[in-house]
Chains A and B, each alone.
Chain A
Amino acid sequence: MTPLLEINRLSKCYPGRVNALVDVSFSLAEGECLGLVGESGSGKSTLAKLILRLETPDQGEILLDGAPLHALRGRALKNARKHVQVIFQDPTASLNPRLPIWKTVIEPLENYPDVSPSFLSGIRHAKRQMAAVLLDKVGLGPDVLDRVPAQLSGGQRQRVAIARSLSLQPKLLVCDEPTSSLDVSVQAQILNLLKGLKNDFNMSYLFISHDIAAVHFMSDRIAVLKKGRLVDVFASGQLFETRRHPYTRQFTNCQPM
């Protein structure tokens, strides 16, 4: 069976001779959550942006359901893109400060009029109703529909960003440090929400974080990125085994679990 996402020998070098990603290969099965850890600057966001086609790779392949995502352009790219959505780290930056919440949440549905997720059946034409349903899925009431991001707390904003990422019912959700900029008290709520949504919506996750505890909680398998190279990939339960890569053990030792 083909994996949902397959990455083959992916490399990316930014102008200015920064080898952000070197020869990275892995695969992600349907329904799986793959955790990706690495310290700041190790290339995690670069990998996310390549998979989201926000950057183009220098070398290598990105296969989504066996189709070459890295080579698509124009219409074909737009069509493939609806299967891969994203949650960014900073929910303040990831919401347009001038748009009311309900418009932000359903924007992807406006862009793909042909996509009809099952949970929106019957109301696909009613924009505000769709927004209310999506917000309900992430635990927000209809009172936030007409607010702008500045009128929400950080945790609420991240919930809005999650609602938007769900709207097309994607196969793969890329979470780039979704809790890193939130209060500690809110982090656990968001992690639990994401874990629940993954089952409800039958999605796969690429869960990126430098918080090994969060990755351990969320993931089936964990991949470790160091200076742009993948140094270790293992099942989540094997995190504390002694045969882990020294860099991985450094991670588990220096961070309180």
Chain B
Amino acid sequence: MKPVTAEGKMSMFPNPVQKWVRKPLLLIGTGMLISVLLISLVGPFLVPNDPLAVNMSERLQPPSEKYPLGTDHMGRCLFSRLAVGAQTTLGITALVIFSVIVIGIPVGLISGYAGGRLDAVLMRIVDGLIAFPEFVLAIAVAGFLGPSLINLMLSIVLVKWVRYARVVRGIVLSEREKEYVLAARVGGCSSWKILYRHLLPQILSPVLVLAALDVGTVILIISSLSYLGLGIQPPNPEWGAMLNDGRSYFQTFPELMFYPGSAILWVVLACNLIGDGLRDAIHETDPTF
């Protein structure tokens, strides 16, 4: 092997920001997501109307100065409901993804590294949960627990963590026999230190990609469960619940479903672009991934 020259080093380790900019789809996805995040953060302070205020005399209004996107079947401002609902939808999604990662990573790490009976038991649970289509299982669990915000999140976390645990375990199984891990053991590292210092960094980027791709499906499950009446309860604005509300007026006022539907599509698309772009970017630096 030849010594690496200064130029060689530069091309092997490009500035991560440069890398981000060089991927147009990643950049577009990030821009789309930031725009929604901004709306969800500042929206509630800027909305022209109270999102919960019912005004039966102004039902199903077309867009006007007072109502930028018009009103729904109860005379509530659609724009205000969308902007405030963004916070609910994105907040729940972030919480669910966070919980799923916080459960899935340790379970996968311990299962893969410890092996033996503990691994067998944990993977039996994972296999059992993964056998069901996740959407069906989420509906069943949410239906069993009863409609509430906490139960909604619980049911999604329950069906989602298993995939993370399995991916993490797979990576740990292949990494634990590599010589840098063996050398760390010979050097006196405890199992705990090997897990957090040597194995955890190896799994962070794959898990990040998985999470980015999952944001879309989590939003869809939240919206679908709300649509089925198992999620966010009326009159609180949430995109899936708004979609549900608009259902009866689909023939005459399709915009009641079009606006929340587009908002969901926008975020799902953004997250998928980010997830795909991240995966490509990681693949370039680490072809084994």
Q: Enumerate chain A interface residues (CB-CB to B < 8 A).
A: 49, 52, 54, 78, 81-82, 84-86, 88-90, 93-99, 107-108, 111-112, 150-156, 161, 164, 167-168, 182-183
A107 touches B180 (CB 8 A): no
A153 touches B187 (CB 8 A): no
Interface assignment of B121: CB less than 8 Å from any CB of chain A: no
Is chain B's binding surface mostly helix, strand, loop or mixed?
Answer: helix
Interface assignment of B17: CB less than 8 Å from any CB of chain A: no
Interface assignment of B131: CB less than 8 Å from any CB of chain A: no
Report B-chain residues with C-beta under 8 Å of the C-beta of A89: 179
Chain B 176-212 per-residue mask, 1 if CB under 8 angstroms from chain A, else 0 = 0011101111111110010001100110000000000
Q: Enumerate chain B interface residues (CB-CB to A < 8 A).
A: 1-4, 9, 12-13, 178-180, 182-190, 193, 197-198, 201-202
A93 touches B184 (CB 8 A): no
A95 touches B180 (CB 8 A): yes
CB distance from B266 to the nearest CB of A (A): 35
**Residue among B1, B12, B193, B202 having the largest count of chain A Cβ atoms under 10 Å:** B1
CA distance A93 to B3 in the complex (A): 18
B180 touches A82 (CB 8 A): no
B187 touches A107 (CB 8 A): yes
CB distance from A88 to the nearest CB of B (A): 4
A151 touches B9 (CB 8 A): yes
Report A-chain residues with C-beta under 8 Å of the C-beta of B182: 49, 52, 54, 86, 88, 94
CA distance A152 to B127 in the complex (A): 43
CB distance from B182 to the nearest CB of A (A): 5
Report B-chain residues with C-beta under 8 Å of the C-beta of A107: 184, 187, 189
B180 touches A94 (CB 8 A): yes
Report B-chain residues with C-beta under 8 Å of the C-beta of A168: 187-188
CB distance from A58 to the nearest CB of B (A): 18
B199, closest chain A residue (CB): A96
B186 touches A151 (CB 8 A): no
Q: Which of B1, B13, B202 contacts A154 (CB 8 A)?
A: B1
B186 touches A81 (CB 8 A): yes
A153 touches B184 (CB 8 A): no
A95, closest chain B residue (CB): B180
Across chains A and B, which 9 residue pairs bring their CB atoms closest together, nearest first?
A111-B188, A108-B187, A154-B1, A94-B179, A93-B179, A88-B179, A96-B180, A153-B1, A153-B3
Given A98-B201, A111-B193: A86 in contact with B183 (beta carbons within 8 A) = yes
Given A82-B188, A85-B186: A153 in contact with B180 (beta carbons within 8 A) = no
CA distance A37 to B32 in the complex (A): 62
A84 touches B180 (CB 8 A): no
A164 touches B183 (CB 8 A): yes
Q: Which of B12, B179, B187, B201 contacts A111 (CB 8 A)?
A: B187
B186 touches A84 (CB 8 A): yes
A183 touches B188 (CB 8 A): no
CA distance A84 to B187 in the complex (A): 9
Report A-chain residues with C-beta under 8 Å of the C-beta of B186: 52, 54, 81, 84-86
Given contact pairs A88-B182, A151-B9, A161-B183, enumerate 5 new A-B contacts (beta carbons under 8 Å): A54-B185, A94-B179, A95-B180, A96-B198, A98-B201
Report B-chain residues with C-beta under 8 Å of the C-beta of A151: 4, 9, 12-13
Report A-chain residues with C-beta under 8 Å of the C-beta of B180: 93-97
What are 13 A-to-B residue pairs whose CB atoms are below 8 Å?
A81-B186, A86-B182, A88-B183, A90-B179, A95-B180, A96-B197, A96-B198, A97-B180, A98-B201, A107-B189, A108-B187, A182-B1, A183-B1
Report B-chain residues with C-beta under 8 Å of the C-beta of A150: 4, 12-13
CA distance A108 to B201 in the complex (A): 19
Report A-chain residues with C-beta under 8 Å of the C-beta of B12: 150-151
B178 touches A93 (CB 8 A): yes
CA distance A153 to B3 in the complex (A): 5
CA distance A132 to B13 in the complex (A): 24
Report B-chain residues with C-beta under 8 Å of the C-beta of A154: 1
Report A-chain residues with C-beta under 8 Å of the C-beta of B188: 78, 81-82, 108, 111-112, 168
Report B-chain residues with C-beta under 8 Å of the C-beta of A183: 1
**Residue among B2, B178, B184 having the largest count of chain A Cβ atoms under 10 Å:** B184
